[in-house]
Amino acid sequence: MVISSVENASKLDAAEVRALIGGAGLSLSDRVFEDWRIILGAFDDAAQLFLKEDDGLPVPNPALYIRTDVHIPQEQDSDKGGWATRCTIKSTTPKSALLAGRTVAIKDNIAVAGVRVTNGLAPVNGEWVPSYDATVVTRILDAGGIVTGKAACENACMEPVSNTSYTGAVHNPYADNYTCGGSSSGSGRLVATGAVDIALGADQGGSIRIPAALCGIVGLKPTWGLVPYTGILGLQSVIDHVGPMTKTVRDNALLLEAIAGPDGIDDRQPAFMAPGSLQFVSGLDEFLAAGAGKPRDQVLKGFKVGVLKEGFAGKRVNSCVAKACRSAVAGLEALGAEVVEVSVPDHEKACLAWLCAMPLRGGREALLGDTTGRKQLEMTDRGAKAAPAMGPAAKARLSQDVFDSLSPGGQNLYMRYLYSSEKYGASLHAKCTNILRKATQAYDAVLASVDVMVMPTVPFPALSFPKLAGDGPLEPLTYALGMVDNTAQFNSTGHPALSFPVGFVPAADNPAIKLPTGLQIVARRFDDLTCYKIAAEWEQSNDWKTLVFGN
């Protein structure tokens, strides 16, 4: 391997090289030691040169994308915690009218130029205000959408509940002091209350679908790689997804069409997708128009729906939620779909494998800002604000202040990162990656015999905000246990998964309070449109707000 020129190269300080060699447990002769001082000095000269260069962050033209009224809302203007920051951003020359006039909330882990990104965290090391827009934001503006603010998200995007964000608790749109789910909590609430027309969420274990189910809206975790994740804070690249959250299925398809397709930057994506494969709105409209001329019991004829046995059989599945979801499945059958039971025996194990695969890379990417080995936009302007690591890169650590600013979910990821790094190294991550590949094959085998699988999105109704005694992490980490039982698997497998509302169920702690619940539809990869077709036909035939399921 070539090295940079050693002519006129700096000679690295001897003490620095001794510390490096000693820390690695190596021993070098004096002659070899001197060579390494020159070789590493030449490398450091090159490194210092590039660290001073402009790395071409995609700063938007302020004359084309107008930004006004950027401000932090007061408590009375936050829509009960839904908003983190308000603004008005629009394009002066949109490229299409796909989202013309639609108001949009952007989850607060997504870069919007000139607007702070909290990621649900206290600004321990200073506030981060990016100078560029995420690809999905640019695409929304180019489609005529109007960004009206950043939606609150949970602490470091690592909580499935909505009382952990630095910007404040986000209350369920149907009952104060109940969770919206997380981590896209603000996006779920703002769409449900009508504060915006549509919103973006991000999903690593259910963070779009859980708030969608608990807030009574439609949320899609698209096929992995369908939508670029460029300019968005992630958890782990192999499970990161960004997607639409809307009131209706058609609006969901509309927003997906605006943001989908390769951007040439994000290495999660195929280099090419046929333009026709990205026409979700016309595909859905044509399907619904064809069904309009048929008897209602024939509109889903030819579709085969697999009811996932394990998705309904989990020990945490609430009987009222199961009843609502089975009623929705019966509704699909009444529309002409063939309904069969299917089984993936390792469904629960796949969720556990997702959990065990996450710490090694998730700790590095999400908490320590180590995204090396990726081909993507690196958010270098965030710098130390992302992860004020202490010590050499191989032993990177969070400062006490940053650790203390994390919610129990974030602290749990960090502690598991430390533990798994010390005890297992890469072996546990590698093993779980292979197990998740086997699980993907098991779901693929089922989806080869049916068009979609269905199951409850969240096994139980929205929980009330906890009244926890003490300051330990155990209670907050276990009170929402099971919320990702049916969602996290599909972040690892990459299948598209759509949650849509199918009725109300009683709150577990107060039967007088009725809360939304959702059915999840999972399809083959890059067959997101089939999820829309099935959900939209059910939506057209049912008013979910009139459906109440009790014991």
User: What does the pLDDT look like over 256-312, one tens digit per residue?
Assistant: 999 999 999 999 999 999 999 999 999 999 999 999 999 999 999 999 999 999 999
User: How far apart are alpha carbons 480 and 28 in whole angstroms?
Assistant: 54
SS3 409: helix
Q: Which is the catalytic residue, given 107, 150, 385, 533?
A: 107
User: How far apart are alpha carbons 393 and 296 in whole angstroms?
Assistant: 61
Question: N- to C-terminal Cα distance for the chain?
Answer: 70
Q: Is 476 left (phi over 0), alpha (psi -120 to 50) or beta?
A: alpha
Q: Give the pLDDT score at 469.
A: 65
Which of 209, 183, 214, 194 lies closest to 505 in space, CA to CA? Answer: 214
Q: Give the pLDDT score at 387.
A: 53
Beta bridge partners of 41: none
Q: Which is the catalytic residue, given 78, 165, 207, 420?
A: 207
Q: Write out the chain's pLDDT in tens, 551 residues.
A: 556 667 778 899 999 999 999 999 999 999 999 999 999 999 999 999 999 999 999 999 999 999 999 999 999 999 999 999 999 999 999 999 999 999 999 999 999 999 999 999 999 988 999 999 999 999 999 999 999 999 999 999 999 999 999 999 999 999 999 999 999 999 999 999 999 999 999 999 999 999 999 999 999 999 999 999 999 999 999 999 999 999 999 999 999 999 999 999 999 999 999 999 999 999 999 999 999 999 999 999 999 999 999 999 999 999 999 999 999 999 999 999 999 999 999 999 999 999 999 999 999 999 998 888 899 999 998 865 555 544 444 467 898 999 999 999 999 999 999 999 999 999 999 999 999 999 999 999 999 999 999 999 999 999 999 877 667 999 999 999 999 999 999 999 999 999 999 999 999 999 999 999 999 999 999 999 999 999 999 999 999 999 999 98
Token pair for 43: 């490398």
Break the chain into its structural domains and give their ranges: 14-51, 65-349+431-546, 350-430
User: How far apart are alpha carbons 192 and 270 in whole angstroms?
Assistant: 33
SS3 128: strand
Contact yes or no for 44/11 (Cβ under 8 A): no
User: How far apart are alpha carbons 350 and 445 in whole angstroms?
Assistant: 15
HSE (side-chain half, CA atoms, 13 Å) at 244: 30
Q: Which is the catalytic residue, given 91, 162, 165, 183?
A: 183
Active site residue 183: yes
In terms of Cβ atoms closer than 10 Å to its own Cβ (0-12, 13-18, 19+), residue 38 is middle
According to CATH, the topology of domain 65-349+431-546 is Amidase signature (AS) enzymes (3.90.1300)
Active site residue 107: yes
Would you list the DSSP string of 472-505?
Answer: -SHHHHHTTTTTTTTTTHHHHH---EEEEEEEEE
Active site residue 207: yes
Could you tell me how many residues make up the chain? 551
User: How far apart are alpha carbons 52 and 433 in whole angstroms?
Assistant: 38
